[in-house]
Chain A
Amino acid sequence: MGLSQDVEINTDHQEPRQALILLLDTSSSMAQSGDIVQLNQGLRELESSLRDPPASRRVEIAIVTFGGQVERTQDFVEVARFEPPHLAAHGATPMGEAIQLAIGMVERRKEVYKSKRLEYYRPWIFMITDGEPTDNWQAAASAVQQAEAASKLAFYVVGTDTANFDILKRIASEQRKPLKLRDNNWQELFRWLSRSMKTVSGSTPGDKIQFERPTAPDDGWASAP
């Protein structure tokens, strides 16, 4: 009698993907301030807090660092298989080149999703810096503006106290203004990032995604520069 015994469902169906590129400043000043330690700690915390499904199967993390040279430290990997690297800091800040690389990686990742017929959420690029670009950043800034205007991705810019917000404001889009890390609250920054990733990757059509405001006066981790 029972219908349930005879019926199978498609369990092979693929999870929708949420791409997240962490675009991290690993220039020498990050070592001097000790921020690199916080950053490494944050990566470990991000990994452990996203370990549960569905986020673990949906969020894909990639890491691009810019310290001396631009490096694709981690190519896209599901959180379930992500092992946080130990980042070291040195050299100048080729932020412009790093931004261009990250935007290109997002576009190529979308092509992979499309070819595998995977559904995906709007990819995030999440940049953290304590300084200012030492290379040409204008082209990168207009690439960010264009990508945001076309809703191709979400580009977040976070700076520490020492960051040059005059430039960061010109890189960030109108929709997503730069955020200034408050009280060195790295821990809360990464917790917020993790919660946001869970919110997006768990959303279905029509869900209004309401992120917590990083700049909330009481428990936010950032201020408007």
Chain B
Amino acid sequence: MRGPSHELDERPCQDAWVGHAGAGIALLCVADGAGSAAHAEFGARAAVAAACSELERALGELEPGRLVPPASASANGRNDSGANDANPSAAGAKDAAAAHGHAGLDLELCKRHVTRACAAAREALVELARSQNNPLRDYACTLLVMLAHARGYAVAHIGDGGAVGALDGELRVLSAPERGEFANETSFLTAAHWQRTLRVAAASADVTAVALFTDGCQGAVLQQAETLVPFAKFFGPVFAYAAATHDTATVSRELETLLDAPRLRAHGDDDKTLAIATLAGAG
């Protein structure tokens, strides 16, 4: 397991992201503040901070091996091996994955956690609006929450932007941008019925990298074929580079140059955020 997030954030913009890595797990949260919302940048920041810390908290409380259960009932009682007292939860998760080869994530558990992270993010916005005495809509933002492991992922998503992953050696869209009928419409975490637009996906697979991105990158990194697919000439080299470069600061710098390049700029003046996590195979 290596590399938390490498990311990119131009300007004091209305995009925000947070990443966290540990115990074989990468957490990424990305939010895009609505251009129309008076305090969108604060909303986006509060949302990703709350979502990520809720996930960290919840995962920290899990029993070792809970996230990645043994592959089958016949697997040899790993659960009570508890190896490393210094860092039980970290060792547990990793050992279980490594020992049981193709054991998958507990997908239901992961989905619950990313969903709760979204709820926590929304609560943070409600609290922020109350303390600042502003209407909740002033903090409108989209939200992407990703929990990734070498054996699978879970993602929760409200609004546009999206998630792409390298799964079983293939690039896949893990969560697609949501759009209303018209191009300037999408859903926000601050909506009264935000749960109705929340989309949660999870799958077990060999995951080597995941990326979250905001609307500003969308056109450049996705391709409309029969379905919406990742633009391979973008994600292929970017994931390969991130996996091969151990210095995350260097990766961040390179990504920054990339997102700021004139050809990507030509894609629009919207804020662009791209957050990447690479995962080392556990097998």
Contact = CB atoms under 8 A, between A and B. Distances in A.
Contact of B238 (A7, A14, A120, A206): A7
Which size class do A's interface residues fall under?
20 to 34
B163 interface: no
A6 B261 CA distance: 13
B7 interface: no
Interface stretch (A24-32, A163-171, A197-205, A217-225): A197-205
Contact of B215 (A12, A122, A205): A205
B160 A8 contact: no
A16 B183 contact: yes
A216 interface: no
A3 B223 contact: no
Q: Is the interface of A mostly helix, strand, loop or mixed?
A: loop
B128 interface: no
A12 B223 contact: yes
B35 A206 contact: yes
A4 B224 contact: no
A142 B141 CA distance: 37
B233 A204 contact: no
Interface residues of B, number: 43
B270 A204 contact: yes
Given A7-B233, A13-B223, A14-B224, A207 B36 contact: yes
A9 B184 contact: no
B166 to A, nearest CB: 15
B158 to A, nearest CB: 12
B241 A206 contact: no
Contact of A204 (B215, B221, B222, B223): B215
Contact of B36 (A2, A54, A120, A208): A208
A121 B182 contact: yes
A3 B241 contact: yes
Nearest to A12: B223
A42 B121 CA distance: 50
A9 B241 contact: no
Contacts of A149: none
A115 interface: no
Given A119-B179, A205-B34, A9 B267 contact: yes
A3 B35 contact: no
Interface string A60-98: 000000000000000000000000000000000000000
A112 interface: no
Nearest to B178: A205
B234 A13 contact: no
A209 interface: yes
B268 interface: yes
Interface in A113-131: 117, 119-122
B258 interface: yes
Interface in B156-185: 159-160, 179, 181-185
Contact of B183 (A7, A9, A11, A121): A121
A196 to B, nearest CB: 13
B87 to A, nearest CB: 33
Nearest to A200: B184
Given A16-B183, A205-B184, A207-B184, A10 B238 contact: no
A10 B231 CA distance: 6
B186 interface: yes
26 contacts: A3-B254, A4-B254, A4-B257, A4-B258, A7-B234, A7-B238, A7-B258, A8-B233, A9-B231, A10-B222, A119-B179, A120-B182, A121-B182, A200-B184, A203-B183, A203-B184, A204-B215, A204-B216, A205-B159, A205-B183, A205-B185, A205-B215, A206-B32, A206-B33, A206-B142, A208-B35
Interface of A: 2-4, 6-14, 16, 54, 117, 119-122, 151, 200, 203-209
Interface of B: 32-37, 40, 140, 142, 159-160, 179, 181-186, 188, 215-216, 219-224, 231, 233-234, 237-238, 241, 254-255, 257-258, 261, 263-264, 267-268, 270
Closest A-B pairs by Cβ, 3 of them: A206-B34, A208-B36, A8-B233
